[in-house]
């Protein structure tokens, strides 16, 4: 346990020091990349809550992720640039969407549930894409990143990195407390043995819905950040294939393992960057999704517990 704590503390220190190390070694660009990894870590963590802890295989999280992003984009287009308004709005919209999708989907299970979450998420995609005023098919740019106040300049890469780091740490900490709380116990119990959980007095549907909404809300936060990160909101953020990408991160890192999400996000994005960017694939770099797909298939078939799952020890 002490060793675990040391590792976590060490990782946190490393994360705090990273931008300066990168700048000193002339790898400025990686600071932006690191921020992107952390944003996807938040998104993956939200999905891990639903899938890994809640046992709800949602293929619709792109709706909440992209919805949060679009909220920021739309508000920016209407002149609202403050993060203190736009980001909570993004979270609220995502939570509302999750409430809607969850309420209808959680009455079903198994194959039905997966398909229905997928279908509803795609519905959101079509709604947003048809909004010509907000970019339609092409998406829309943000004039600037959301204003933070306090004299902070979000367009500065290092400042942005720390903003994202603070939020990621906060989200992970909140999730940690959630999982160990009464609510978390019930959620895991429901995943473990739903009928008995119901039989000992827990209204299962309500708990699952609450878990789903919390998960969606966090995905919305990640969406707000991703919109800011690129200063651009793309409709592909809402597409169900995006849900698939997030799912890959979750299983890569380890479903239901606490550190699975950040690990999965890191590995997936690093893989993508390596395969598409550097010269590894040479002339075939544009086809980087092929080796990713193969690796994914191999992992799913032969190492389904993912990277974090390979380490022994209790589920955190």
204 binds another protein (CB under 8 A): yes
User: CB under 8 Å to 306, separation ≥6 — which residues?
Assistant: 250, 251, 252, 253, 254, 255, 257, 260, 263, 264, 299
32 binds another protein (CB under 8 A): no
- Angle 182-192/204-230 helices, nearest 10 degrees? 110
- Give the separation between CA 171 and CA 166, rounded to whole angstroms: 9
292 binds another protein (CB under 8 A): yes
Q: Which is nearer to another protein, 135 or 220 (CB)?
A: 135
User: CB under 8 Å to 246, separation ≥6 — which residues?
Assistant: 40, 43, 44, 47, 61, 62, 65
Nearest distance, CB of residue 63 and another protein, angstroms: 11
207 binds another protein (CB under 8 A): yes
Q: Which two tokens stand for residue 221?
A: 């936060």
Q: Under rule CB under 8 A, which residues in 59-78 are in contact with another protein?
A: 59
- Give the separation between CA 175 and CA 275, rounded to whole angstroms: 32
3-class DSSP state for residue 18?
Answer: helix
Which of 96, 261, 55 is CA-nearest to residue 168? 261
Binding residue (CB under 8 A) for another protein from 132, 143, 279, 312:
132
Binding residue (CB under 8 A) for another protein from 82, 108, 144, 285:
108
51 binds another protein (CB under 8 A): yes
284 binds another protein (CB under 8 A): yes
Using CB under 8 A, count the residues that bind another protein: 65
244 binds another protein (CB under 8 A): yes
Q: Under rule CB under 8 A, which residues in 150-179 are in contact with another protein?
A: 177-178
Q: Which two tokens stand for residue 273?
A: 């960057």
Binding site for another protein (CB under 8 A): 51, 57, 59, 104, 107-108, 110-112, 114-116, 118-120, 122-123, 126-127, 130-133, 177-178, 180-186, 189, 192-193, 195-196, 198-204, 207, 210, 240-241, 244, 247-248, 251, 255, 284, 287, 289-290, 292-294, 296-297, 300-301, 304
């Amino acid at each position: 346990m002490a060793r675990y704590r040391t590792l976590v503390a060490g990782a946190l220190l490393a994360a705090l020091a990273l931008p300066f190390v990168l700048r000193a070694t002339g790898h400025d660009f990686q600071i932006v990349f690191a921020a992107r990894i952390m944003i996807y870590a938040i998104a993956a963590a939200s999905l891990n809550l639903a899938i890994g802890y809640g046992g709800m295989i949602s293929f619709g999280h792109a709706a909440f992720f992209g919805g949060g992003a679009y909220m920021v984009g739309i508000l920016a287009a209407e002149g609202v640039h403050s993060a203190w308004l736009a980001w909570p709005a993004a979270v609220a919209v995502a939570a509302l969407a999750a409430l809607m999708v969850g309420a209808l989907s959680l009455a079903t299970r198994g194959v039905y549930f997966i398909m229905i979450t997928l279908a509803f998420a795609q519905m959101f995609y079509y709604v947003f894409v048809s909004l010509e005023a907000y970019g339609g098919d092409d998406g829309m740019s943000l004039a600037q990143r959301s204003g933070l106040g306090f004299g902070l300049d979000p367009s500065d890469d290092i400042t942005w990195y720390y903003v994202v780091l603070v939020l990621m740490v906060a989200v992970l900490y909140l999730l940690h407390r959630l999982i160990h709380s009464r609510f978390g116990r019930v959620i895991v119990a429901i995943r473990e043995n739903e009928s008995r959980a119901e039989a000992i007095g827990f209204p299962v549907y309500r708990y699952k819905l609450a878990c789903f909404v919390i998960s969606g809300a966090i995905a919305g936060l990640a969406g707000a950040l991703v919109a800011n990160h690129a200063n651009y909101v793309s409709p592909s953020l809402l597409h169900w294939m995006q849900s698939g990408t997030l799912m890959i991160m979750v299983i890569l890192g380890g479903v239901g393992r606490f550190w699975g999400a950040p690990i999965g996000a890191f590995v997936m994005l690093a893989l993508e960057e390596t395969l598409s960017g550097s010269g590894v694939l040479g002339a075939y770099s544009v086809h980087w999704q092929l080796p990713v797909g193969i690796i994914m298939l191999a992992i799913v078939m032969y190492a389904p517990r993912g990277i974090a799952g390979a380490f022994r020890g209790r589920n955190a």
